[in-house]
Amino acid sequence: MSVIAFIFARGGSKGLPRKNLRPLGGKPLLAWAIDCARACPQVDRVIVSTDDEEIAATARAFGAEVPFLRPAELAQDQSPEWLAWRHAVKYVQEHSGPFDVFLAVPVTSPLRAPEDLTACIQTLQGGDCDGVVTMTPSARNPYFNMVRQDETGKIAVALDAGYVISRRQDAPEMFDLTTVAYAVRPDFILSADDLFPGAVKAVVVPKERALDIDDAMDLAFAEFLVARGQTP
């Protein structure tokens, strides 16, 4: 089956300006995603979708293809990334023909390993699902140690299990979605408006590989882990 890894890296970023080009361990965050995708044996091509010329030049320098620049209307703060996915799929199908697996490799999870990508691809190839996401065991549980507050200021456990849960181990297991990778059937991206109305499976990724960089503190923690050698 043909697998194309796509990395979506727009130029604007409010939380951490120029995030995709911020250095981590001596190379830009973008390069971590490119290197991991290129190291995955199932991946045939690595394509970066960006609206930014500097990001495009950096992507090419690290071995990725940049066959198009993303339209400005698909690179705004409010632009749904799903539409950028659809644009990329259409472009590749129109210029290179059909392919079997769309693999999104977000820049924000630099500590992923190639085997995480392989697991997503193989799960999708196993059939009976439209897409595969990655998740990691949650540190909080809405049945036990997450609460909601009402209009009077009183709090209660976020979800009622219908019985008393006195130990975290007795609560239903919960997971946090991560940005490690997404594997999706291209035709589903073209026909649906979102991933979760489809049949979705998941690959569990260990916490140390699931760091999602959203702000300066996340980046500092990633630097700490890289300096300690705790990277794939």
Answer yes or no: is 7 within a domain: yes
* Residues 112 and 163 occupy one common structural domain: no
Q: Are residues 162 and 184 in the same domain?
A: no
**pLDDT for 185 beyond 90:** yes
pLDDT at 162: 82
Domain-located, residue 232: no
Q: What is the pLDDT of residue 127?
A: 81
One domain, residues 8 and 119: yes
Asked if residue 60 belongs to a domain, the reply is: yes
Q: Which residue range forms the structural domain that includes residue 70? A: 3-135+175-227
Is pTM, for the whole model, over 0.75? yes
3-state secondary structure 152-196: CCCEEECCCCCCCCCCHHHCCCCEEECCCCEEECHHHHHHCCCCC
CA distance 10 to 165: 44
pLDDT at 13: 79
Q: What is the CATH number of the domain that holds 121?
A: 3.90.550.10
Q: Do the domain assignments include residue 55?
A: yes
Judge whether 114 lies within some domain: yes
Same structural domain, 152 and 38: no
Domain shared by 91 and 193, yes or no = yes
| Residue 89 one-letter amino acid | V
Residue 230 has pLDDT above 80, yes or no: no
Q: Among 127, 148, 173, give the residue marking a domain's end.
A: 173
Residues 159 and 58 in one domain: no
Beta bridge partners of 157: 147
On the question of pLDDT at 70 being above 80, the answer is: yes
Cα 49 to Cα 46: distance, rounded to the nearest angstrom:
10
Domain shared by 190 and 217, yes or no: yes
The answer to whether residue 100 is domain-embedded is yes
Tokens linked to 85:
């996915």
pLDDT-derived band at 49 (thresholds 50, 70, 90) equals very high
List Cα–Cα distances, 25 to 61, 166, 211, in angstroms.
17, 43, 15
Proportion of the chain above pLDDT 90, given as a percent: 81
Q: Are residues 155 and 51 in the same domain?
A: no
Whether 186 and 161 share a structural domain: no
Q: What does the buried/exposed string (b/e) look like for 3-37 if buried means 16 or more CB atoms within 10 Å of the residue's CB? A: bbbbbbbbbebeebeebbbbebeeebbbbbbbbbb
Is 168 in the same domain as 179?
Answer: no
Question: How far apart, in whole angstroms, are the C-alpha atoms of residue 162 and residue 31?
Answer: 48
Residue 153 lies in a domain: yes
Q: Are 123 and 203 in contact (CB under 8 A)?
A: yes
Domain total of the chain: 2
Using alpha carbons, select from 79, 174, 106, 162 the residue that is nearest to residue 136.
174
Give the model's pLDDT for residue 5: 98
Claim to verify: residue 43 and residue 95 sit in the same structural domain: yes
Query: CA-to-CA distance for 230 and 232, rounded, in angstroms?
Result: 7
Residue 148 or residue 162, greater confidence: 148
104-148: per-residue pLDDT in tens? 999 999 999 999 999 999 999 998 999 999 999 998 888 888 899
pLDDT score of 78? 86
Nearest to 203 by CA among 138, 104, 124, 108: 124
Q: Would you place residue 168 in the very low, low, confident or very high pLDDT band (cuts 50, 70, 90)?
A: confident
Shared domain for 128 and 147, answered yes or no, is: no
111, 232 contact by CB (below 8 A): yes
Q: What is the pLDDT of residue 84?
A: 97
The pLDDT confidence band at residue 39, using thresholds 50, 70 and 90, is: very high
Given a cut of 80, whether residue 198 has pLDDT beyond it is yes
